[in-house]
Amino acid sequence: MINKTAVYVLWLREMKRFARAKSRVAGALGGPLFFLAFLGLGFRRMAIPGISEGVNYIQFLVPGIMGMSIIFSSTFAGMSVLWDREFGFLKEIMVAPVSRISVVLGRIAGGATTAMIQGGLILGISIIIGFKILNALSLLFAVIFMLLIAVTFLGLGLVFASKMRDMQGFGIVMNFVIFPLFFLSGALYPIENFPPLVRYISYVDPLTYGVDGLRAALLQVSSFSIVFNFLILGAFSLVMILLGAYFFEKSESV
């Protein structure tokens, strides 16, 4: 049974940690802003095959960079499991009279909120350099896709964190996993430009549908329909929540 108090307490703990760690926020935004500034401003006047008419490269790039910010923040949120195990907090919450699914949901809620905040900051900064949001409904749909991306990769991060003990090793492995997912998603260039084999591989990347869904919501330009992106990414997020909960349930607290 889900304990709402436990979920809220774990969410609040993550929010306080996020608010206090200003260097964490700056570091998480640094990479995405680097890509946005140097790629977006550098290629803004170039005609890139596969991009719809009326959409410049900065507009095309912003949803991809939002996805980049969210996927990095979400997957590395799994490191908090290793941190808590190292300092004994994980053992304390494991022996508490609450279900482990409540613990998982609390961690996912906290991690998803911080990831969405970072994605929202990227969107806010992009507006300053010329990106335009169509309307309030577009923003609502974008928030939904941001949430689904965050939940999907939080689940992935939990899976790896539950099976590992070394924080440095976790970072190396996650970088090895994240970068291929990021580059295969079409975040930086249209997936239609990929060779056929690579394009088929990109179809099994959940971030592909997250980034495409963000473009459908914010630009009304996408490779797939917004409903298709929502259904596929929703299925990925559900599977990853279940896998994350399963591996977390099987993990050791010490």
Q: What is the pLDDT of residues 122-176, one digit of tens each?
A: 888 888 877 888 788 889 999 999 999 999 998 888 888 877 777 777 778 888 8
Asked if 157 contacts 77 with a C-beta cutoff of 8 angstroms, the reply is yes
Domain limits for position 171? 4-250
Question: CB-based contacts of 28: which residues, under 8 Å, 6+ apart?
Answer: 69, 72, 73, 118
CA distance to 39, 95, 104, 206, per residue, from 99 (Å): 46, 10, 9, 29
Looking at residue 44, its pLDDT comes to 61
pLDDT of residue 233: 94
CA pseudo-torsion sign 44, 45, 49, 51: positive
How far apart, in whole angstroms, are the C-alpha atoms of residue 126 and residue 62? 7
Q: CA–CA separation, 1 vs 155, rounded Å?
A: 20
**E-assigned strand segments in 165-235:** none
Predicted local distance difference test score (pLDDT) of residue 236: 94
Question: What is residue 237's predicted lDDT score, i.e. its pLDDT?
Answer: 92
Residues of the chain with confidence (pLDDT) below 50: 254
For the record, the structure tokens of 186 come out as: 């079409």
Residue 254: per-residue pLDDT: 45
Tally the domains of the chain. 1
